[in-house]
Structure 1
Amino acid sequence: MTSLQDKVRRHLKESWQSEERKAAMNDYIEEGQAFLNRYCPSINWDSDLRAISLLKNYVLYADSGAVDEFIVNYKSELFALSNLGKTKKQ
């Protein structure tokens, strides 16, 4: 099975050759997971394709210093993820 880090790396067309770059990207992935888990705490990071797609794009925006733009541009997807989280709680 492909790791989450590998999926993000391929999405960004990134080789992460330096350890510093790899650490920064892994930090963005962890931050993105925490951010998205606020909308839907029950995300299965191995199989939830919607959440994985959002995470990949979160990392792209975070790496550019534009998380605020991510929130604006993905508002409808975040809302849908939030609704999914509410549905799973019931």
Structure 2
Amino acid sequence: MTEDQIDALLPIVKKRLRITFTQVDDDIKDFIEEGGAFLREKAGEIDFSKDSHTLSSIKARSLLKEYCQYAWNGTTAFYGIDYQSEIIALQILVAQEAFSNG
């Protein structure tokens, strides 16, 4: 994920975390990068941009925000377990969209 992509996702994630101050932006950017890598490892190439409105992008952004919530709370060890079915659903969406696009 590029720095521009992370910067674009920062306000979305901060809204989910209910954070209005900037002192922890670097930490949140790290969470976004780590969460994006985790989800790409599980499901393949994903477009997280807020301008993309494919089902996989919408689900991926939702899962990324939840990953960041877990990271904020220091509980990422439980994220994969708690969201296993949602991650599998994302895998299926990414595969379906790749198949449809040929």
Which of the five TM-score ranges fits, normalised by the shorter chain? 0.7 to 0.9
Deviations 1:7-59 (A, max 9, x none): 001111102321xx111110000000000001222211112110000000000
Mapped pair 1:64 → 2:73 = yes
Superposed displacement of residue 77, structure 1 = 0.3
Mapped pair 1:6 → 2:15 = no
Match of 1:24 among 24, 27, 35: 27
TM-score, normalised to structure 2, is 0.75
TM-score, normalised to structure 1, is 0.84
Aligned residues: 86
Match of 1:53 in 2: 62
Contact 1:42 1:88 in 2 (8 A): no
SS at match of 2:47: coil
Higher relative contact order, structure no. (Cα contacts within 8 Å, ≥ 6 residues apart): 1
> Gaps (5+ residues) in structure 2?
1-7
| Residues in 1 aligned to 2:72 and 2:33: alpha-carbon distance in whole angstroms | 13
Mapped pair 1:82 → 2:87 = no
- The CA RMSD over aligned residues, in Å, is 1.5
Contact 2:48 2:60 in 1 (8 A): yes
> Gaps (5+ residues) in structure 1?
none
What's the % identity of the aligned pairs? 33
Runs of 4+ in 1 over 6 A off after TM superposition: none
